[in-house]
Every structure is written in C-alpha cells, then in structure tokens.
Structure 1
C-alpha cells in the first residue's frame, strides 16, 4: 500500500500541535488554593508552594464623608478629678489619599482560601484575592 505522504505529514502536524496546545494551556488559568503556615497549597497541585507572589493594588484611595461615634477622654492633673470621658461624634470630610496601596499579603492568614492565577506558562503563581462563601 502506498500512503499519501502529505496526508501523513498533515496528520502528524495536527497531533503534534494538539499535544503542544494542551500542554501550554494546562498550566495556565485560575485555581483555588489555601494559605498555609509555610506557603500556598493549590487545590489542583499536590505539593505546597513556598515561592509564590501576591497581588498588590496601588492607586488613589477615595473616602466618602462619614461619621464615627466613639469616646473622648480628658485627663486632668487634679487628684480630685482624675479623668473625664464622654461619647463624641467624629465627622470626617470626603478625601482622597494618593499613592495608597492595598497590600493583600499583609492580611492573609493560614487557612484563608484564595484565588490564584498561573503566569509565565504556569511557572509562577500570583495570589489575586481571598475568597469567602457567598452565603454570609
């Protein structure tokens, strides 16, 4: 039997491209994981990772006008008065804080569930945010 050499070449290329595409996309994407005391454990990878990155979100922080209620105290030097405390309302005007940064890594604790994204062909992992249940 004489087979078509171009058909064999096309079939071989098709199989090879499919294999490489599956390999390239297999290590890319978002995955859930858990912060441990010594690293990050991804749900789809059996080993803990000690070397991972955490997203930091720089930007302009805009705070609306708001009121907070608290206690205000006054200490006197008189032995008869001691200190005086009273409930007080504190009003804060709307403001913007330039060069603010949300540092996600500083707030992560062991046991926290996180969303991580593989980058650089799956060689590196970046923790994007902490995830919580939508029921509460």
Structure 2
C-alpha cells in the first residue's frame, strides 16, 4: 500500500512543530509560589529556588489630596491634630517589592530565560479578605 508522500511530510512537520513549540514554551509562564525562609518554592516545581529575582518598579508616585487626623499628648494634655496635604507627585520613586516580602507570603512569579530564572512580580492575597 502506497502512502501519500505529501501527507507524510505534512504529518512529520506538524509533529516536529508541536515538539519545538512545547520545548520553547516549557518551563515558561506565570506560576504561584511561596516565599520561604531560604528562598522561593513554586507550586509546580519540587525544588526551592534560592537564587531568584524580584521586580522593582521605578516611576513617578502620584499622591491625592488627603487629610491626616490623629491625637498626641503634650504636657499631659491630649490634643487632636489634623494635617492637610495637597495633591503631589514625587519623581524618581521606586517600589522595592523584595523588601516587603516575608516567609509564608504567596507570590506570582514568571519564568524567564527558558525557565532557568524566576522573577517574583507581586504578592498575591485572598480577594475575600
């Protein structure tokens, strides 16, 4: 029985393309994990990453108009104070996510460099709490 050579070629190319795509995307993508006392444990990988990266977000911080109210004690008397702040912008600010993470925190991480490196993008929390 003679098979169609073009059909065989198409089938072979399709299988090869699928294999190459799986290899290219394998180990890449977003995954949940947990910060540990010694590193990062991803939910879908059995080993802990002790060498991982954390996103740092440089930018411009915009603060809305706000009033801060509080109390203080002065010479034995309790005084209520209030401070009004105008809307403002602070240039050259940087959110350093890594300094706010502690063991037990759940995080969203992304694999990069063909899955060889991991970058923690943000902390995740329960939406009901």
- TM-score normalized by structure 2? 0.88
CA distance in 1, matches of 2:28, 2:53: 15
- Structure 1 partner of 2:88: 95
Correspondences of 1:50-69 after superposition (within 5 Å): 50-69=50-69
CA displacement, residues 29-52 of structure 1 (integer Å, 9 cap, x when unaligned):
100000000000000000000111
SS of corresponding position for 1:122? coil
Give how far 1:8 is off: 4.3
Unaligned runs of at least 5 residues, structure 1: 75-81
Unaligned runs of at least 5 residues, structure 2: none
CA distance in 1, matches of 2:96, 2:76: 39
- Structure 1 partner of 2:125: 132
- Structure 2 partner of 1:107: 100
- Structure 1 partner of 2:19: 19
In the alignment, structure 1 residue 123 sits paired with structure 2 residue 116:
yes
Indicate the structure (1 or 2) with the bigger Cα radius of gyration.
1
- Structure 2 partner of 1:46: 46
Equivalences, count: 129
Q: Which deviates the most, 53-62 or 7-16?
A: 7-16
- TM-score normalized by structure 1? 0.84
